[in-house]
Chain A
């Protein structure tokens, strides 16, 4: 039975809560499967300690309690948005995540916009000139960039643009020791983000170009395109109003699915370019066995992905009239 858009969103949110709960439960137990804990790391970094001290630390952090007990404590805290305290970073987990999130979100958003935008443009060109030289060119480059690992591309970009020609900074997000106004700060940030965005973005441009091309070719063979031509529309009108418009449907679905992937991609790029974002934080929390931090990141990113997917689905209901909201 079809329902109003509002009811639909409410129902979807209800289901999203279930997913988050599942993520918390699975995450909590999965993280504890590999042997070793935070105390091992601290002791290792300190060069060793006696057994009594180790036990004391474990009981201090609550690690000596049963897994169930730890789980119940954690759940109780999560319910009041307390994700715990990271001893490695000496700061509450939620605060660390909120500090690190904006730069990652910015990179992800730029990559998404450029990836979809340029990808659609190139894909449309390739589909329009299918099997002619523009298609060969676009498809060739799409395949090349699709297959190129983005951390390698990042290193090569640094080598070329920061070391040889020295146009752009090789790492970080701001020039140290520079007096910054709002404008010059923004420009400085933008200069720092060019290389990471390219390193991560080419992959998505390639993916979306390929998907756009494929979707457009599929739509082009459909009957209503013949109808559109029989109306006496120009080639460009047929492509824009009928072919591209319908090719948007699979593209939107795919873009939504890529949101989760994109966060994974930032881990590598932020590490290569030394950007203090969520991606690098993930990496740090893994090597230091900062369980609470890692779990916090896991929860926050899943919530983000769920929200992005929900937004995608809502957008979809606007561009695809055949979807029945249930």
Chain B
């Protein structure tokens, strides 16, 4: 695949002819009882032929609703009450579902965020693309098959003839997203709507998929609406940008203008919240004592073991040695499947290790179990990725925060006081003690997760993707909170993330993992500034908007 074909001058200047799509005053009502009356209100924007337009905003901004409204795929409870969606001069909004069918797929294609679930699991890839072809054209079977193969080849999937007979679960996330793109492009639609198409993908895969979308735009002059929350993606892809907040457009303009000279304070705040990929962090001291030491850790999983059969072993973590010095933050970066989460689970002794040893303050804790693990549990705590799944929905926050203390033998009264103290520390009111997790937002829940980890006053915090599922502004706040508590409580931290930008900001030292092994480790500045391993270089090159967001930093 050739490198980026993006011209230096965005084609938006060249394509100022009549827009393919004009959205005017689009207003969609929310069902009663919500915190606002409209999901989106008075949305205006144009999409020029052959242009990539990014709609950017945080969750709840209405960006996906806008995309769905264009496709006529709004959930039933959401009703457009005003405005026009003019596609090639014709208003799509008043069309019936049946009338919209002629546009969907044929004239406007759409791809979604989750490639893992966006394809029907029981039909082959080829059948699903063929279905798309036959939905709009009557063609003989042989012709359909030829087109399916051609479509798969066009998105650079290997061996399209074999692939078309595969079911989706045989494909990786990136491959599935390519299949989705192949399917959406099969009728050469005028518009491709991509709703967070790379959010669920690894960074190197994301770069490939974005490159593919841009290439298709260049080759076929398709107009693209790219819905995203990531300003990195915007910087990488967009010709023009629409910034949305609370269901309204706050700013529209060419990418260079919006990113370079944002007019609206919200846009500015969002751009400022994007973690910069800085590589100039000071090298940490090597003199501090080794607090936590993992030596030659290997962890295998056995698959398909049966009553009378030995399964096959999969090595998730392969001979990894890492150490954490007092007061430092060690970052573990890598893509999904690299073994970083398994390593974290071994480090907190939720998961056993098959080989190697774990030393805390020089004492071997590898084989401790049950009661004898209690002192270790007090010193090493974990913050999990998903703030929705990691808090017991049936327990009040008070219970969630005091349980770790009660287990450690504290009395009820002091435990409560300590819990309230921690809630204050993470920026929540003591009243939160009486409430259940579902009453809080994602960011608040992650604060509660952090409070729970800190309530026993640990020395080491192991954070597994603690900000990955949060909006960028909330992400910023949680990272600031972590930096703050780390300083105040003199914590040492292992910070696991797939996002190199976050790692660059937070970590003193970095270990890069690939396929279960550490391929490179060292001080952050060195690893990111002067990467030795080709995989590290690939990861850095794949960061969306890396050029934009490391140059503009002061």
* A interface residues, Cβ below 8 angstroms from B: 1, 15, 222-224, 226-235, 237, 241-242, 245-246, 249, 319-322, 324, 326
Contacts and interface: CB of A to CB of B under 8 A. Distances in A.
Given A227-B112, A230-B73, A232-B105, A242 B120 contact: yes
B122 A226 contact: no
A227 B180 contact: yes
Contacts of A249: 122
Contacts, number: 85
B117 A224 contact: yes
Interface stretch (B128-136, B366-374, B516-524): B128-136
B106 interface: yes
Nearest to B102: A232
B35 interface: no
The 5 A-B pairs with the shortest beta carbon distances in the complex, nearest first, are A232-B105, A232-B104, A321-B167, A223-B117, A231-B105
B304 A227 contact: no
A237 B123 CA distance: 14
B183 interface: yes
Contacts of B117: 222-224
A316 B311 CA distance: 23
Interface string B229-263: 00000000000000000000000000000000000
A226 B183 contact: no
A227 B306 contact: no
A237 B128 CA distance: 12
Contacts of A15: 307
Given A232-B106, A233-B131, 14 more contacts: A15-B307, A224-B119, A224-B120, A226-B112, A227-B112, A230-B73, A232-B102, A232-B135, A233-B101, A245-B120, A245-B122, A246-B120, A246-B121, A321-B167
Interface string B515-537: 00000000000000000000000
A239 to B, nearest CB: 13
Contacts of A320: 121-122
Contacts of B119: 224, 227
Given A227-B118, A319-B122, A241 B102 contact: no
A232 B101 contact: yes
B109 interface: yes
Nearest to B170: A321
Contacts of A231: 104-105, 131-132, 135, 183
B325 to A, nearest CB: 43
Nearest to B107: A232
Q: Which range contains the number of B residues in contact with the other chain?
A: 35 or more
A35 B330 CA distance: 71
B135 A224 contact: no
Nearest to B112: A223
A230 B110 contact: yes
15 contacts: A15-B307, A224-B118, A226-B112, A230-B105, A230-B109, A232-B102, A232-B103, A234-B101, A241-B120, A246-B120, A246-B121, A321-B121, A321-B122, A321-B167, A322-B169
A223 B118 contact: yes
A231 B120 CA distance: 13
Nearest to A241: B131
Nearest to A223: B117
Nearest to A2: B304
Contacts of B312: 1
B439 interface: no
A234 B312 CA distance: 45
A229 B120 CA distance: 12
Contacts of A241: 120, 123, 131
A15 B309 CA distance: 13
B118 A226 contact: yes
Contacts of B97: 235
Given A1-B312, A233-B101, A228 B120 contact: yes
B114 A223 contact: yes
Contacts of B110: 230
A64 B106 CA distance: 83
Contacts of A229: 73, 104
Interface of B: 71, 73, 97-98, 100-106, 109-110, 112, 114, 117-124, 131-132, 135-136, 167, 169, 180, 183-184, 303-304, 306-307, 309, 311-312
Nearest to A221: B75
A224 B132 CA distance: 13
Contact of A226 (B73, B124, B136, B167): B73
B77 to A, nearest CB: 11
A321 B171 CA distance: 13
A233 B135 CA distance: 6
Contact of B104 (A222, A230, A242): A230
Contacts of B304: 1, 324, 326
A243 to B, nearest CB: 10
A31 B73 CA distance: 61
Contacts of A230: 71, 73, 104-105, 109-110, 184
A258 to B, nearest CB: 22
Nearest to B307: A15
A179 B132 CA distance: 60
B190 to A, nearest CB: 14
User: Which of A228, A232, A322, A324 is the most central at the interface, judged by chain B CB atoms within 10 Å of its CB?
Assistant: A232
B121 A224 contact: yes
A226 B306 CA distance: 38
Nearest to B104: A232
A234 B131 CA distance: 12
A322 B102 contact: no
Nearest to A11: B306
A326 B122 contact: no
A326 B306 contact: yes
Given A1-B304, A223-B114, A241-B131, A234 B122 contact: no
A321 B119 CA distance: 13
A229 B71 CA distance: 9
Contacts of B184: 230
Given A1-B304, A326-B304, A232 B120 contact: no
A247 to B, nearest CB: 11
A310 B40 CA distance: 53
B546 to A, nearest CB: 30
A150 to B, nearest CB: 34
Contacts of B109: 230
B21 to A, nearest CB: 16
A289 B466 CA distance: 66
A186 B105 CA distance: 53
A246 B119 CA distance: 12
A91 B48 CA distance: 88
A166 to B, nearest CB: 49
Contacts of B311: 1
A246 B105 contact: no
A222 B121 CA distance: 11
Nearest to B167: A321
B265 to A, nearest CB: 35
A33 to B, nearest CB: 29
Contacts of A322: 121, 167, 169
B474 to A, nearest CB: 24
A234 B100 CA distance: 10
A167 B201 CA distance: 66
A220 to B, nearest CB: 11
